[in-house]
Structure 1
Amino acid sequence: MKRIQGALSHRDGLLKPTGYSCNHKPMMKGEFPIGDNDELLFNISCLLKTCVLALEGEATFSLSPLSNANPKSNVIVALEFIINLLPREQMVALDEITKILRK
């Protein structure tokens, strides 16, 4: 057990604690590296296009574990994720910078 704890203590995982809980469950946040704002917008755009294709498509998954997947439900989850990815703080800061530069 100590070896496992030691191995995990040196690993920087994708999930990090948020410091708060919801419904008595500690909430975690996932992080992934993004090079710049343009890359962030590109990733968001790709996710949105994937959702559109999923909603328009008539294809089904051939893998048995995915054969009962509900595209609409999956798209809803993806869209909620995309909403959280939108760089609102960066856009507010950009608006402020634009105002300053116009003066």
Structure 2
Amino acid sequence: MKKKKLKTLKEIRKRHRNHMGLLKQDSGNPLGNHTISLEVKDNNDLLLNIASLLEVCVFALDGNGMLLSPNNQNVTKHDSVCRVLELVLNILPHSQMDFMDYVTEKLNGLDNAKTKSSE
């Protein structure tokens, strides 16, 4: 049982190291596109940023206020909201959620093995 726990913890540690820094974008893009880095304190901060962007979209679509700069009068509210929604899709924390699912699965496996061995 101890060997299985140690192996599981080593696997989790290895994946955790691989996922550290995923909140920052790698500037070495092989397609030649420029990337923009979004600095956040933690996953909660990232989720707050995503929620705020979505709230702005809801306000822009439902509200009567004009959110466009006078320099961008040729851009429609719909176009601006679409760009923000695309940004939101790009910053969703897919890797972090995959990692959390992996950790949960491994820890549940340890709990199930512990329960079976004590029976």
User: Considering the TM-score relative to the shorter chain, is it more than 0.5?
Assistant: yes
From 71, 77, 84, give the equivalent of 1:65.
71
- Comparing both chains, which one has the higher relative contact order based on Cα–Cα distances under 8 Å and sequence gaps of 6 or more? 2
Q: What TM-score do the two structures reach when normalised by structure 1?
A: 0.72
Q: Which amino acid aligns with 1:82?
A: V
Matched, 1:98 2:104: yes
User: 1:99, 1:62 → 2: CA distance?
Assistant: 46
| Cα root mean square deviation, aligned | 2.2
Give the C-alpha shift of residue 102 in structure 1. Answer: 0.8
Unmatched 5+ stretches in structure 1: 1-14
Q: Tell me the TM-score normalised to structure 2 length.
A: 0.63
* 2:54 is the counterpart of 1:48: yes
**Higher-Rg member (1/2):** 2
Q: 1-side partners of 2:34 and 2:85: how far apart? A: 19
Higher strand share: 1
Determine if contact 1:60/1:67 at 8 Å carries over to the other structure: no
Q: Quick one: percent identity of the two aligned structures?
A: 30
1:38 aligns with 2:49: no
Instruction: Give aligned pairs, total.
Output: 85
CA contact (8 A) 1:54 1:71 kept: yes
Q: Which deviates more, 55-64 or 28-37?
A: 55-64
How far 1:33 sits from its partner (Å)? 1.4
Structure 2 unmatched runs, 5+: 1-25, 110-119
